[in-house]
Amino acid sequence: MAGLGADTEQVKKISQLESDIANLRTQVAQRPQADDPNVGLGGQGGNTKPPVPKPVESPLLAALGKLGAAAKRDAWAQLSGADNANLGRATLSGSNLVGNSALAAMRQLDNHHNAAPGGAPGQVSLSGSAKLKPGESRLWVQALNNASSFEQAPGQKDFKQNTQGLVMGVDWALDSEWRMGLLGGKSQSKHKGSRFDGDLDSWHIGTYALHQSGPVALRLGAIHSQHYGKTQRNVEFMGYKDRLTGDYGANSQQAFAELGYNLGSGSLSAEPFANLGYQRYSRKGYTEKGGEAALKADAQTQDNFSTTLGLRTASIKYMDNKMSLAPRLSAGWKHLYGAIDSTSTQTHQVSGRTFNTKGIAQDRDSLVVEAGLDLNLSARHSVGVAYNGEVGNNSRTHGLMGQWKMSF
């Protein structure tokens, strides 16, 4: 019954749009024409006929008038620009990669400092050296790849996004317990929906800090991202075709605080952790270019707090060539607070009708996992690769990350 109600509402909206366009066309047609010789001659020469309205054609209105109820539902799905409301959801999914980069840099195993007396393996650290050296610095580079799929309403293709990027960071030890760092990066995203394509260029800048006191680690970070996007929608039904394009600007912010307690001894370690996060997305309004189906999208803003509770494990194996191999695994439960629905207010440029379009809702609860492998090549160089994923009721995100790190 809920689906039937939604279909009825879509047909009603199409009928309202038809009525608005028809009224507008009638008003335009009834305006006196400047080249009509009868205009302004009332009462002169005996020719007092009113001006004859010139017909104003509307390909969109003509096509809508030929549709049945079922076809009108499909037409409304195209005309409403529903995928415009999904841009925030997809953008945040790609930007989360950068926050994961900062956390990965702080958590990354750095075991060559942790050998016990006599060369025996020491306790595995999940957040850097067991004792940070004042003045010691690190440079790291990460290559990122992320793919997300968001479920849409029945009958519509899933909305997909794919992001690739590069992030670089540098950090240094302030004393034996505090480490601070800066990062910057660039990413590109592709968005694809039902008759919808989008491109997004993003620039990222942020700062992070790590406080290590014995087994307790506090990780802090804040990141700002600037986004520049392009959209393309294709509308086609009953002989009517329209190609609509848009350009928009947006920005996003994310911040996190994570507390972990390192357990275990020898070559095996486990860390229960709790993470508090915040994310915000703000997009400027923009106007599509094209034909009668073009929309004007109002500014859009959404933000949420989140918590993640989980467990992270790691081990290390020392090899005869003085290199070491360190696999790691983590899993957690992420909970989102606040409004999870995504909506966009849009205006049909021809009719002037304004309506709210509902996008893909965010997942209230999701499972987050990570699996990685680090290879310490020497006392100063290491490389690593990691998989991270997030799975909820409405979305699935999978990412790969490669990292190189140098200490100096």
Q: How confident is the model over 203-254, as pLDDT tens digits?
A: 999 999 999 888 999 999 999 999 999 999 999 988 889 999 999 999 999 9
pLDDT confidence tier of residue 404, bands split at 50, 70 and 90? very high
Give the pLDDT of residue 146: 93
Return the domain boundaries, the chain: 2-42+54-77, 88-407
Q: Is the pLDDT of residue 137 over 70?
A: yes
Q: How many residues does the chain have?
A: 408
pLDDT band at 110 (very low <50, low <70, confident <90, very high): very low
Instruction: State whether residue 62 is helix, strand or coil.
Output: helix
Residue 85: pLDDT above 60? Answer: yes
Q: Which whole number is the average pLDDT over 395-404?
A: 94
Give the per-residue pLDDT at 353.
79
User: Can you spell out the DSSP letters for 155-215?
Assistant: TSPPEEEEEEEEEEEEEEESSSSEEEEEEEEEEEEEEEETTEEEEEEEEEEEEEEEEEETT
Q: How far apart, in whole angstroms, are the C-alpha atoms of residue 100 and residue 142?
A: 11
The pLDDT mean for the chain works out to 83
CA separation for the pair 120, 133 (Å, rounded)? 21
For residue 201, how many other CB atoms are within 10 A of its CB?
A: 13
Indicate the pLDDT class of residue 331, thresholds 50, 70 and 90. very high
**How does residue 73 score in pLDDT terms, banded at 50, 70 and 90?**
confident
| Dihedral angle, C-alpha 365, 367, 370, 371, nearest 10 ° | 180
Q: Would you state the pLDDT for residue 393? A: 92
User: What is the C-alpha separation between 256 and 307, in angstroms, rounded?
Assistant: 9
Q: What is the pLDDT of residue 334?
A: 98
Assign residue 214 a region: left if phi > 0, alpha if psi is -120 to 50, beta otherwise? left
CATH number for the domain running over 88-407: 2.40.128.130
* 303-312 confidence digits (pLDDT tens): 999 999 999 9
Is the Cα torsion angle 116, 122, 123, 124 positive or negative in sign? positive
Q: Rounded to an integer, what distance in angstroms lies between the CA atom of residue 104 and that of residue 401?
A: 10
The answer, yes or no, to whether residue 124 has pLDDT greater than 70, is no
Token pair belonging to 103:
């956390």
Cα 81 to Cα 242: distance, rounded to the nearest angstrom: 12
Q: Which helix (H) or strand (E) holds 401?
A: strand 395-407
